[in-house]
Amino acid sequence: MLKFIGSGSAFNTKLGNNSAYYKEGNQILLIDCGSNIFQRIKENNLLEGIEQIHVLVTHTHADHVGSLADLILYTYYSHGEFAKNKIIIHSPFDTGISEILKLNGCVVGVHHSENLIGGSGQVTKILKSTLFNFDRNSHVEELNTYNITLNIKGRTIWYSSDCNEINKSLVEDINFRNNFIAYIDTCKADYNGNVHLSLRKLTQLIKPEYRNKVWCMHLDEGFVREEAEALGFNVVKNEY
């Protein structure tokens, strides 16, 4: 349902920073815009015919927001109609994205708009009928990080962003809810204090019969696609 511009972890330059998108008519929804994402968007003409861009920001690690200011200023100055604000940034206010964009020279109301959300659970509607809300995640102590629940055309999509654990209620949703799929940060690296979720842990949490509802993403360099697929999981691919 979602497509991916990049599907790698912070240092997996080959696959690019993890970033998903969904297009509807002349609008695009983008989740995060890490350091090497603007270049991939431009090189693959992803904005052709696009007049409005919604960016959902999960947290402010550079591999999630590193080229967001480039995208904002590019769309204002060089994409489509000159000097028209085409981007809305949606994020919980306490991710701090607003301050980062300001320091990057992006002016709210001029270059872009912001929908700063109070916190977990608040539902926003965008595109024709897409609903989403953010919820707090377990990732790193120093940054507020959020997962996203999206409802697109009757299907519920849970998108972990970066996380090192998933809770019991998500596992139950994967097991028992129809039209429910989960995109989960999964890495090969497996050590105490890991800020991402290892394939070993995910395998312990999700029973084999439900693994076809899970898509592994944010893949590190040691991740072996065939290993995850042999266990019954899906693995995302970059698609433009």
Residue nearer to Zn ion on the CB measure, 52 or 147: 147
Please name the residue ranges forming H helices in 2-84: 37-43, 62-65, 68-77
Residue nearer to Zn ion on the CB measure, 57 or 89: 57
Q: Which two tokens stand for residue 85?
A: 């604000």
Query: Could you tell me the smallest distance in angstroms from the CB atom of residue 208 to Zn ion?
Result: 29
Q: Which residues bind Zn ion (CB under 5 A)?
A: 61, 162
Between CA 226 and CA 235 the distance in angstroms is 9
Between CA 233 and CA 239 the distance in angstroms is 19
Query: Could you tell me the smallest distance in angstroms from the CB atom of residue 24 to Zn ion?
Result: 27
Residue nearer to Zn ion on the CB measure, 9 or 130: 9
Query: Could you tell me the smallest distance in angstroms from the CB atom of residue 10 to Zn ion?
Result: 7
Closest C-alpha to 161, from 20, 43, 24, 44: 20
Query: Could you tell me the smallest distance in angstroms from the CB atom of residue 160 to Zn ion?
Result: 11
Residue nearer to Zn ion on the CB measure, 76 or 134: 134
Between CA 65 and CA 4 the distance in angstroms is 16
